[in-house]
A and B are shown apart, each in its own frame.
Chain A
């Protein structure tokens, strides 16, 4: 009889296990299938801009130098990334560009050479294919290619573009433009205006004075720090601002939340009504969430780090309030009794009976949130316009400075990892000390 009951219960248990083992994955799969259609993942392939992905990937590890000829005046300008800040002054062009009013010659290496035609267009002896000549005739752009054009050439009546492994050249009526790609990040250390551009580290450290008016090291540092293409000084400041937001937000929240937590802990709060009210305040602060706080605060204070810091402070006051009051409810009453038996007043009881018990919990939570808030500060900065988040979104909006975007991403990741190790180290140090 007892056996039958046991068997029956074992069977039920097995049935439940089996149901769970097959039912759970089935539910998960069904949900994923629903999301597949809800998010229109099938249509993603159409919407995805793979050309964007390619430019992005190419831009991350390489940069291009533009050689541009104004077809009306015949004037040729060489500029890195086509930016004014990266334009070579006349007479200082790189040696692969041979300036000539009769037709500038651009040597691309491996036998590839392009000669610009002063009236517009170019001649390009493509190795393994033959000469390609494109010229501007009146309003039209015409090429010598007849019949079947190869797929690396795209031609319409007004624009011809040739893309080979070594360069991309496009001709319109107004301009002839050649892009040549180089690996690396352009002008990362010195811009073309700096006398230190093109000098190696050894030369700057140990060589003769490059700029006679200042010592190499200070001059190089000054030019590097003030590099107006990469703006290293601004970037460093933005990183600092982000960390500042996280620091002020986290510790400010702790300062506000600690006294309030006493009011909302069951074993300390004198009045139920007060406890209830304070708890609802915490819930409200947490529930409104950083996003809405950021919006509300940026309306009042405008964009900047203070807004971000206060948004973090408000959200985390709610979080810390809840965590601290839970920690307070778990304190050991004996220690408080011991302190009060010596005749301690309430404030002394809290200071010596309670605080030492919750400090480890407090510190470990605080530093955990400090690291996580560094990430939040980046995100909030992108919304409110402060710190590295702002620089990141600014660089992304232009949709062409992807090398800067990747630089910022690397810096953000390094910053968060550094904050992670720093807060971990401090946590261990302080908890052991306490």
Chain B
């Protein structure tokens, strides 16, 4: 009797628990959907053009770009060649800022990892610095620097490098936390300085992970550098804005730029994921 009673109780209890869980889940989902719907309605309300009135026109712009390009298809390769240096500048901005950002991120991440830091008391300080660097959108620094330094690639480079230090620094310090401390101790026992301990003891362990994160960041930075160009900091984004300003009838140059941008993003995206996969595979065999 006790046996059946107990099992009955468990079952009822379980069902009640499930019902409550479902109720909560459903409630959360309902609230969430309501938030989304009202959010979209609010955003639609605040937008200059409405969603439903704009929806039929969504293909107008791509269509007019294609219309402008098709009759002048023979000029497209010429445009592509002409804008290639601008693309190169955009990629260079991304590459340099990733490089400089990664080097600085390496230093600051080592300084803010427990067990490795040169000055353990300053770990919170370096972490806050990274938080702030990460929180500043690139565009903010870029716009201020454009005012001081004038347009061109340098403001974009500095702005993206700043953000990269913060973003990579966080990821790097997570990697550092998993590093084996034995080589560091070994080096310390023979009197190595902090720099030597880090360079010879830690960096060889973590560099594959660093590299993979930096590659991912490079991909993100190409997009960022194109966007910053659009607000005045050189490269393909700047050319795109100029090409757009010429207006209907001359969108064939914009089409060339779209193609270049799309192509380079896809290529670097595939390349970096390929390299990262290869690295993971290589790591697995060792």
Contacts from A to B (Cβ < 8 Å) = 28, 31-32, 35, 38-41, 44, 47-50, 52-53, 56, 241, 244-245, 247-248, 251-252, 255, 283, 286-292, 295-297, 299-307, 309, 375, 378-379, 382-383, 385-386, 389, 392-393, 396, 399, 405, 409, 412-413, 416-417, 420
- Cβ of B190 under 8 Å from chain A: no
A residues near B242, Cβ cutoff 8 Å: none
* Pairwise interchain contact A39-B149, C-beta atoms closer than 8 A: no
Known: A39-B157, A251-B36. A301 touches B51 (CB 8 A): yes
B residues near A291, Cβ cutoff 8 Å: 223, 226-227, 230, 237, 240, 261
Identify which of B36, B137, B226 contacts A252 (C-beta below 8 A): B36
B residues near A49, Cβ cutoff 8 Å: 147-150
- Cβ of B187 under 8 Å from chain A: no
B residues near A41, Cβ cutoff 8 Å: 154
* Pairwise interchain contact A248-B261, C-beta atoms closer than 8 A: no
Identify which of A56, A244, A417, A420 contacts B39 (C-beta below 8 A): A244
Determine the distance from Cα of A306 to Cα of B131 in the docked complex, in whole angstroms. 29
A residues near B135, Cβ cutoff 8 Å: 375, 412-413, 416-417, 420
B residues near A40, Cβ cutoff 8 Å: 152
Flag the segment in B7-15, B114-122, B262-270 that touches A.
B262-270
* Pairwise interchain contact B58-A300, C-beta atoms closer than 8 A: yes
* Pairwise interchain contact B223-A289, C-beta atoms closer than 8 A: yes
24 example contacts (A-B, Cβ-Cβ < 8 A) are as follows: A32-B99, A35-B96, A39-B92, A39-B153, A49-B149, A56-B144, A255-B36, A286-B269, A287-B265, A289-B226, A295-B244, A297-B58, A299-B57, A301-B54, A302-B47, A302-B49, A304-B46, A305-B43, A309-B43, A379-B227, A385-B48, A392-B140, A416-B135, A417-B135
Known: A48-B149, A244-B42, A420-B131. A302 touches B48 (CB 8 A): yes
- Cβ of B213 under 8 Å from chain A: no
- Cβ of B136 under 8 Å from chain A: yes
Instruction: Return the chain B residue nearest A283 by Cβ.
Output: B266
B residues near A412, Cβ cutoff 8 Å: 135-137, 140
Instruction: Return the chain A residue nearest B96 by Cβ.
Output: A35
Determine the distance from Cα of A53 to Cα of B149 in the docked complex, in whole angstroms. 9
Q: Interface of chain B, helix or strand or loop or mixed?
A: helix
A residues near B49, Cβ cutoff 8 Å: 300-302, 304
Determine the distance from Cα of A290 to Cα of B143 in the docked complex, in whole angstroms. 19
Identify which of B54, B92, B147, B223 contacts A52 (C-beta below 8 A): B147
Instruction: Return the chain A residue nearest B42 by Cβ.
Output: A244
- Cβ of B186 under 8 Å from chain A: no
A residues near B46, Cβ cutoff 8 Å: 241, 304-306, 386
Q: Which of A44, A245, A292 has the most CB of B within 10 A?
A: A292
A residues near B47, Cβ cutoff 8 Å: 301-307, 386
Determine the distance from Cα of A162 to Cα of B191 in the docked complex, in whole angstroms. 62
* Pairwise interchain contact B36-A375, C-beta atoms closer than 8 A: no
- Cβ of B60 under 8 Å from chain A: yes
Instruction: Return the chain A residue nearest B99 by Cβ.
Output: A28
Given contacts A44-B154, A248-B40, A286-B269, could you give 4 more A-B pairs where the C-beta distance is less than 8 Å? A300-B55, A306-B47, A378-B137, A396-B143
A residues near B44, Cβ cutoff 8 Å: 306
Determine the distance from Cα of A375 to Cα of B237 in the docked complex, in whole angstroms. 19
* Pairwise interchain contact A383-B227, C-beta atoms closer than 8 A: yes
Determine the distance from Cα of A53 to Cα of B150 in the docked complex, in whole angstroms. 11
Determine the distance from Cα of A282 to Cα of B164 in the docked complex, in whole angstroms. 26
A residues near B246, Cβ cutoff 8 Å: none
**Which 4 A-B pairs have CB atoms at the shortest separation, nearest pair first?**
A304-B47, A302-B48, A302-B49, A306-B47
- Cβ of B139 under 8 Å from chain A: yes
Instruction: Return the chain B residue nearest A379 by Cβ.
Output: B139
Identify which of B42, B231, B262 contacts A383 (C-beta below 8 A): B231
B residues near A244, Cβ cutoff 8 Å: 39, 42-43
Determine the distance from Cα of A168 to Cα of B33 in the docked complex, in whole angstroms. 59
Identify which of A287, A302, A385 contacts B54 (C-beta below 8 A): A302
* Pairwise interchain contact A304-B43, C-beta atoms closer than 8 A: yes
Instruction: Return the chain B residue nearest A315 by Cβ.
Output: B223
- Cβ of B239 under 8 Å from chain A: no
* Pairwise interchain contact B58-A396, C-beta atoms closer than 8 A: no
Tell me the minimal C-beta distance from B230 to chain A in angstroms: 6
* Pairwise interchain contact B144-A48, C-beta atoms closer than 8 A: no
Identify which of B95, B147, B153, B154 contacts A396 (C-beta below 8 A): B147
Encode contact with A along B224-252: 1 for CB under 8 Å, 0 otherwise: 00110011000001001000100000000
B residues near A287, Cβ cutoff 8 Å: 262, 265-266, 269
Determine the distance from Cα of A247 to Cα of B240 in the docked complex, in whole angstroms. 28
B residues near A39, Cβ cutoff 8 Å: 92, 96, 152-154, 157
Within 8 A of A (CB), among B5-47: 32, 36, 39-40, 42-44, 46-47
- Cβ of B62 under 8 Å from chain A: yes
Tell me the minimal C-beta distance from B57 to chain A in angstroms: 4
* Pairwise interchain contact A300-B137, C-beta atoms closer than 8 A: no
Instruction: Return the chain B residue nearest A245 by Cβ.
Output: B43
* Pairwise interchain contact A289-B143, C-beta atoms closer than 8 A: no
Within 8 A of A (CB), among B134-168: 134-140, 143-144, 147-150, 152-154, 157
